Amino acid sequence: MKAIILSGGKGTRLRPLTYTGAKQLVPVANKPILWYGIEAIVEAGITDIGIIISPETGGEVKAKTGDGERFGAKITYILQDQPAGLAHAVKIAQPFLGDSPFVMYLGDNLVQSELSLFLEKFNTKSLDALTLLCPVSNPSAFGVAKVDEEGRVLQLIEKPKDPPSNLALVGIYMFSPTIHHAIANIQPSPRGELEITDAIQYLIDDSSKVEAYQLKGWWLDTGKKDDLLEANRIILDTCLNSNIQGDVDEQSQVIGRVQIGKGSTVKNCTIRGPVTIGNDCHLENSFVGPYSSIADNVTLIEADLEHSVILQGAKVEGIHQRIVDSVLGQRAHLKVAPRRPKALRFMIGDDSQIELS
């Protein structure tokens, strides 16, 4: 069995961060979102992985992720020169996939579940397609499935005005090679893309064996700032273990589950977990509250923050109001004069410099 992970797209909902980088490389708990998918696939026993990349961000994805050795996998990069739909991504990956069944995994998804459970169902029932579903409160924003009592998929509708159910397509699919025939027989949608929902619907109409599996845990689509912060909160809440490798002075307090990386120094600070701090950071006279992730080489001096994600190389200095619900891009520099607001919220892209007075 093989796998493909989609890591293209423009990431418009995460701008300005994605003006300068791939959305799948934005970190959650100091790990690129893309890597969670790779690890889940390898843990399920699949080590031959193709990653679909775009011309704009493919080089960054390749440089950051490498050949797969760190994950115990072999990674092949497949260029999709235009965002022409999920089924189009499968079409261009066909030379890599050959006649193998495969998992298709959207690279900006985070799922609390073992992929091996779904693979077992797919294999034991000799299915042509298995879709993963999750109940949502706003099904009109997603692809939605209509399913019978035995789990067979009857119909798929992309962002319906009148949804037949509240079961959204999660973004993890399993296919037999018959999907290639289905894709060859569908036409682009009104938005000009080859839709994977149309290909699966073709299989359904052709009496192929298409079933669904409903997730029991959480599913997060990290396409927006608030989604990213929520993903960061959940990962820190469920996966973080205390591990302090940096230097913490006697005037500092570290409370709860906190990770501090090698080469980092903490002086006269209070850190209240769950919090993860990367390598070679400098924190001084600061408060870091729960559900914060601070990447490598970050400087915090007289700063007060919580429930935020600070990317590599950022600097936050002289802030006397609390920063909450914020994402600061790589090498961003934020400096605030001592004035009045009770809380500050930011979404700052890479290499930005902001001073409030």
With beta carbons less than 8 A apart as the criterion, state whether 287 and 307 touch: no
User: Are residue 265 and residue 222 in the same domain, yes or no?
Assistant: no
With beta carbons less than 8 A apart as the criterion, state whether 133 and 168 touch: yes
Could you list the residue range(s) of the whole structural domain that residue 144 is in? 2-226
User: Are residue 148 and residue 220 in the same domain, yes or no?
Assistant: yes
Neighbours of 141 (CB within 10 A): 12
- Residue type present at position 161: K
User: Are residue 213 and residue 147 in the same domain, yes or no?
Assistant: yes
233 in a structural domain? no
- For the chain, 357 residues long, give each residue's pLDDT as a single digit of tens: 999 999 865 544 454 555 455 678 888 899 998 999 999 999 999 999 999 998 888 898 999 999 999 999 999 999 998 888 999 999 999 999 999 999 999 988 888 777 888 899 999 999 999 998 888 888 888 888 888 887 788 888 878 888 888 888 888 999 999 999 999 999 998 888 899 989 999 999 999 999 988 887 777 766 677 888 988 999 999 889 999 999 999 999 999 999 999 999 999 999 999 999 999 999 999 999 999 999 999 999 999 999 999 999 999 998 878 889 888 888 888 876 555 556 666 666 665 656 555
User: Are residue 210 and residue 287 in the same domain, yes or no?
Assistant: no
Q: What angle do CA 37, 40, 43 make, to 5 degrees?
A: 150
231 in a structural domain? no
CATH of the domain at 257: 2.160.10.10
User: Are residue 219 and residue 267 in the same domain, yes or no?
Assistant: no
User: Are residue 161 and residue 251 in the same domain, yes or no?
Assistant: no
Q: Which of 180, 199, 226 is the last residue of a domain?
A: 226
Note the pLDDT of residue 25.
Answer: 84
- Map residue 302 onto helix, strand or coil: coil
347 in a structural domain? yes
What's the rounded Cα separation, in Å, for the pair 216 and 219? 9
User: Are residue 68 and residue 213 in the same domain, yes or no?
Assistant: yes
Q: Which of 226, 256, 276 is the last residue of a domain?
A: 226
Neighbours of 321 (CB within 10 A): 17
User: Are residue 19 and residue 162 in the same domain, yes or no?
Assistant: yes
246 in a structural domain? yes
Supply the Cα-derived Rg of the chain in whole angstroms: 22
User: Are residue 137 and residue 256 in the same domain, yes or no?
Assistant: no
Structure tokens at 254: 């570290």
Note the pLDDT of residue 9.
Answer: 58
165 in a structural domain? yes
- Map residue 43 onto helix, strand or coil: helix
User: Are residue 108 and residue 59 in the same domain, yes or no?
Assistant: yes
CATH of the domain at 195: 3.90.550.10
Structure tokens at 90: 């499968």
What's the rounded Cα separation, in Å, for the pair 247 and 105? 39
Q: What is the DSSP letter of 23?
A: G
265 in a structural domain? yes
Q: Number of H helices and number of E strands within the chain?
A: 8, 33
What's the rounded Cα separation, in Å, for the pair 277 and 352? 21
Backbone angles phi, psi at 22, to 5 degrees: -80, 135
Q: What does pTM read for this prediction?
A: 0.86
Nearest to 201 by CA among 185, 215, 190: 185
Percent helix, strand, coil in the chain, to 5, is: 25, 35, 40
Note the pLDDT of residue 38.
Answer: 95
Question: Tokens 């692809």 label which residue?
Answer: 143
As for how many domains the chain has, the answer is 2
235 in a structural domain? no
User: Are residue 334 and residue 283 in the same domain, yes or no?
Assistant: yes
With beta carbons less than 8 A apart as the criterion, state whether 136 and 142 touch: yes
Q: What angle do CA 298, 38, 3 make, to 5 degrees?
A: 155
User: Are residue 186 and residue 279 in the same domain, yes or no?
Assistant: no
195 in a structural domain? yes
Note the pLDDT of residue 134.
Answer: 84
Q: What angle do CA 37, 42, 48 make, to 5 degrees?
A: 100
